[in-house]
Amino acid sequence: MPGRRWLGQDMSMKIVIPIIPRGQHRARHGVQNGFSRTYKDPKQKHEEDVLQAFLVEHRPAEPLAGPVLLGVRLYLPIPISKPKKWRAEASAGIIRPTVKPDLDNAMKHLKDCLTTMRFWEDDRQVVEYLPGTGKYYSDQPRWEIEIEPFRPGLAA
């Protein structure tokens, strides 16, 4: 279930988005009327639209200013084809995903959506990832996103 929790006036936020996490696709290239052009893969555009539809209700009134910390947990579906013991270990966090999407591409996909939605001015404001950022298995695939302002001396 999507949710947001504001932690006081420091504009920290936690967002849960109940969709299967996806990664950034490669840009497509083509020639049109003798000119080379670059465009987004239609699947990428669709995935961005879906993610942004969930993010829109959490968007701050003003883009966050200054350095921020970003925490992202990607919960991928547990493969049904695996044995029951394997699925139990995956659910418990003993087995972690080494399948697509890779973490860098998923983070790029999310950060591009957050930038487009004006959560911040630019993703270069992300100065550190919060502990626990990574890929996990779950029976409930989802994104868990946490954004905090950077506070010197309190970073992990």
Domain contains 156: no
Element (H, E) at 134: strand 134-138
Domain contains 154: no
CATH number of the domain bearing residue 88: 3.30.1330.70
Rg of the chain, C-alpha, whole Å: 17
Domain contains 20: yes
Residues of the domain holding 18: 3-149
Token digits of residue 144 = 């868990």
Number of domains in the chain: 1
Percent of the chain exceeding pLDDT 90 equals: 65
Give pLDDT, residue 34: 77
User: Given a cut of 80, is residue 36 above it in pLDDT?
Assistant: no
The whole-number average pLDDT for the span 2-7 is 39
Domain contains 57: yes
